[in-house]
C-alpha cells in the first residue's frame, strides 16, 4: 500500500498529539550519523572553546616571556654600561686623546668640593651641582693647539641614544658656569642614528674605545 499525502498529514497530526513518538521516529527515518550530529556539534563547540582558552593562555604566557626578556636585555645593557664606565676609567686618555692632551680625571670627591665652592659663591645652584655630579665622568685637559684648560663632561653608555647626547650638552652648559670652557662628550660601543644626528647638531663629541670623532664646525668641517 502506497504512502499518500493524506497519510503524511495524518502522521504529522499524530506526532503533534503524541510528541513522545518523535524520538522513535527519528531512529527509523534518520541515519546514525545525522542522529549523532547535534552531539558532535556540541563537542566541536566545546573543543573550540577550549582551544580559544588555550590560545589566550599561550598569548599571555608569550607576553610574560617577552616582558622578562625585555627586562633581561635592559639589565644586560645596564651591566654592559657599568662595565664600560669602569673600563673607561682606565682607557679614558685613549678615548679622549683626539679631544685634549694632558688629560686628568677629576674624581668625585674633588669634583664635589669644587662644586660646593661654586654653590657657596653663588655661581651654581644646588640643582646645578646635583646634575653635574650625575655625569659619568668629568676630565680636565688642554685641547690642541692651545694651552688653555678645558673640562670634558662625559656621558658613558653601551648604546648611546639621543637622551645621552642631550644630557652631555645640558651638564656641560652647567659646568661652564665655573668660568672654564667645557666640551660635551658621549662615549659608547654603539650610537643610534638619531643620537648621532643630535650630536652633530649640538656639537657633541662622540667617542668609543678606539678614539673620538669631532663634531662639525659651522662650515661643515670637523674641528
Q: Give the residue extent of every domain in the chain.
A: 5-60, 78-213
pTM above 0.85, yes or no: no
Distance CA 162, CA 90 (A): 26
At 158, the pLDDT band (50, 70, 90 cuts) reads confident
Burial per residue of 14-44, b for 16 or more beta-carbon CB atoms within 10 angstroms, e otherwise = eeeeeeeeeeeeeeeeeeeeeeeeeeeeeee
Distance CA 116, CA 109 (A): 11
Q: What is the pLDDT of residue 220?
A: 43
Distance CA 73, CA 158 (A): 12
Q: What is the pLDDT of residue 48?
A: 76
Q: What is the pLDDT of residue 223?
A: 36
Q: What is the pLDDT of residue 174?
A: 97
At 123, the pLDDT band (50, 70, 90 cuts) reads very high
- Per-residue pLDDT at 85 exceeds 80: no
Q: What is the pLDDT of residue 222?
A: 43
Measured CA angle at 222 (ends 220, 223), to 5 deg: 120
Q: What is the pLDDT of residue 122?
A: 95
Q: What is the pLDDT of residue 181?
A: 94
- Per-residue pLDDT at 126 exceeds 60: yes
CB 192 within 8 A of CB 153: no
Q: For residue 62, with 0-12 CB atoms within 10 Å meaning exposed, 13-18 middle and 19 or more buried, which class applies?
A: exposed
- Per-residue pLDDT at 30 exceeds 60: no
Amino acid at each position: 500500500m502506497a504512502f499518500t499525502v493524506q497519510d503524511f498529514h495524518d502522521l504529522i497530526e499524530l506526532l503533534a498529539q503524541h510528541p513522545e513518538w518523535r524520538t522513535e521516529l527519528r531512529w527509523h527515518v534518520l541515519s546514525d550519523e545525522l542522529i549523532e550530529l547535534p552531539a558532535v556539534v556540541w563537542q566541536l563547540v566545546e573543543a573550540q572553546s577550549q582551544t580559544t582558552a588555550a590560545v589566550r593562555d599561550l598569548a599571555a604566557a608569550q607576553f610574560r616571556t617577552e616582558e622578562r626578556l625585555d627586562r633581561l636585555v635592559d639589565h644586560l645593557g645596564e651591566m654592559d654600561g657599568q662595565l664600560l664606565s669602569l673600563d673607561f676609567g682606565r682607557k679614558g686618555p685613549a678615548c679622549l686623546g683626539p679631544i685634549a692632551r694632558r688629560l686628568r680625571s677629576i674624581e668625585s670627591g674633588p669634583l664635589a668640593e669644587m662644586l660646593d665652592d661654586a654653590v657657596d659663591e653663588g655661581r651654581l645652584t644646588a640643582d646645578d651641582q646635583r646634575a653635574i655630579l650625575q655625569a659619568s665622568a668629568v676630565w680636565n685637559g688642554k685641547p690642541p693647539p692651545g694651552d688653555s684648560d678645558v673640562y670634558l663632561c662625559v656621558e658613558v653608555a653601551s648604546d648611546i641614544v639621543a637622551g645621552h647626547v642631550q644630557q652631555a650638552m645640558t651638564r656641560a652648559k652647567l659646568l661652564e658656569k665655573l668660568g672654564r670652557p667645557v666640551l660635551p662628550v658621549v662615549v659608547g660601543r654603539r650610537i643610534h642614528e638619531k643620537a648621532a644626528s643630535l650630536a652633530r647638531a649640538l656639537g657633541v663629541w662622540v667617542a668609543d674605545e678606539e678614539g673620538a670623532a669631532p663634531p662639525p664646525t659651522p662650515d661643515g668641517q670637523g674641528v
